[in-house]
């Protein structure tokens, strides 16, 4: 394969995505703010760039997967950012969960440099990605999507085009609010059953065999029995997504009462010193309010 791919943001998800691109045979240039975290990818064949600008100067397609609006601006806008080195005709595949307005402005800046931006957040977790089951929702020019499709398919098999740039971010935010609200409902169900006398582990077993067991609940529900040391999706990150949802709701006149409540309970989790844990730790807030023991921390 002759195409060169760039990847900026090599964290828990981005690093795994980059590895799949390497495994597919693509030449890969990567950048991560903490270079040591990319060491395994370098050993696997990735070239580590000194800056996002260097990535853009070398790549035909660039993927970005960063934390938030501020991080996206930091890797794209400064003199050593992606835009400074942008190659005409290149495609930016922006996968972060960020504000639709921010990605819209970035798309305009890329277009001014004769490039194209695809707004392409994902649905799934590191486990989903490792299993080859990650799905993309994509906003942007359909022709650009067809050019980028082989690279996307190297990462995940399901690609759904939802419309112009910005709509995929909106859809992703809508998806993610459901994760947090579902987890709160699961936590309440476990607490109620336990308070009635059902063993906690047995309550989790029954719920995971019931009609409420969504894919997310199936892999995160057991965390109320033992919280992993390394979070799949920590409290700060899910709260960032819930704030994006609440901002969208205020702008469009949509009522999100369950999102507001879940956000406040996650703030309580931070008050209990639990910010570093997966957001399933909202169970500890419910347990604390219900005079039940917290989750075990593995």
Q: How much is the pLDDT for 132?
A: 86
Q: What are the pLDDT digits (tens) for 67-88? A: 999 999 999 999 999 999 999 9
Q: Is 169 a catalytic residue?
A: no
Question: How do beta strands 135-139 and 122-123 pair?
Answer: antiparallel
Chain mean pLDDT for the chain: 96
Bridge partner residues of 122 (DSSP): 136
Comparing CA positions, the residue from 144, 222, 215 lying closest to residue 178 is 215
What pLDDT does 130 receive? 86
Residues 9-21 have a mean pLDDT of: 95
For residue 207, is pLDDT > 80? Answer: yes
Q: Report the pLDDT value the prediction gives residue 128, as an integer from 0 to 100.
A: 84
What integer pLDDT is reported at residue 17 of this predicted model?
96
Task: State the DSSP string of 239-272.
Answer: HHHHHHHHHHHHHHT---HHHHHHHHHHHHHHHT
The mean pLDDT value for 219-247 works out to 95
> Which pLDDT score, from 0 to 100, does residue 298 have?
76
| Cα dihedral 74/75/81/85 (nearest 10) | -150
Please report the pLDDT score of residue 50 as a whole number.
Answer: 96
Predicted pLDDT at 295: 97
Query: At residue 1, does pLDDT exceed 70?
Result: no
pLDDT value at 2 more than 80: no
Average pLDDT of the segment spanning 280-284? 98
Res 297 pLDDT > 80: yes
Residue 238 has pLDDT above 90, yes or no: yes
- Active site residue: 37, 172, 195, 276, which one? 172
Task: Quickly state the pLDDT bin for 3 (edges 50, 70, 90).
Answer: confident
- The beta strands (E) that lie in the chain are given as 4-8, 27-31, 47-48, 61-64, 91-94, 116-119, 122-123, 135-139, 158-163, 226-227, 296-297
Q: What is the pLDDT at residue 64?
A: 98
pLDDT of residue 199: 98
Ranking 41-50, 128-137, 203-212, 260-269 by mean pLDDT, the lowest is 128-137
């Amino acid at each position: 394969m002759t195409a060169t791919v760039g990847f900026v943001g090599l964290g828990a998800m981005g690093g795994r995505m980059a590895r799949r691109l390497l495994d597919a045979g693509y030449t890969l240039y990567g950048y991560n703010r903490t270079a040591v975290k990319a060491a395994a990818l370098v050993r696997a064949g990735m070239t580590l760039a000194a800056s996002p600008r260097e990535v853009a100067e070398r790549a035909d397609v660039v993927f970005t997967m960063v934390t938030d609006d501020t991080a996206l601006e930091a890797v794209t806008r400064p003199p050593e950012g992606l835009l400074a080195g942008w190659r005409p005709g290149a495609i930016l595949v922006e996968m972060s969960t960020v504000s639709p307005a921010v990605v819209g402005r970035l798309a305009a800046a890329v277009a001014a440099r004769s490039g194209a931006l695809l707004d392409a957040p994902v649905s799934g977790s590191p486990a989903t990605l490792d299993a080859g089951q990650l799905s993309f929702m994509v906003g942007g020019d359909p022709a650009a999507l067809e050019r980028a499709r082989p690279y996307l398919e190297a990462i995940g098999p399901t690609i759904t085009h939802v419309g112009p740039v910005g709509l995929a971010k909106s859809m992703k935010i809508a998806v993610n609010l459901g994760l947090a609200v579902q987890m709160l409902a699961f936590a309440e169900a476990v607490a109620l059953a336990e308070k009635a006398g059902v063993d906690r582990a047995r309550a989790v077993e029954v719920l995971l065999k019931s009609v409420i067991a969504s894919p997310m609940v199936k892999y995160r529900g057991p965390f109320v029995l033992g919280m992993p040391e390394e979070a799949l999706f920590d409290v700060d990150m899910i709260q960032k997504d819930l704030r994006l949802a609440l901002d969208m709701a205020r702008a469009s006149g949509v009522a999100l009462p369950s999102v507001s409540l879940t956000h406040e309970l996650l703030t309580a989790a931070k008050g209990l010193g639990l910010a570093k844990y997966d957001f399933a730790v909202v169970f500890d807030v419910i347990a604390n309010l219900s005079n039940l023991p917290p989750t075990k921390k593995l």
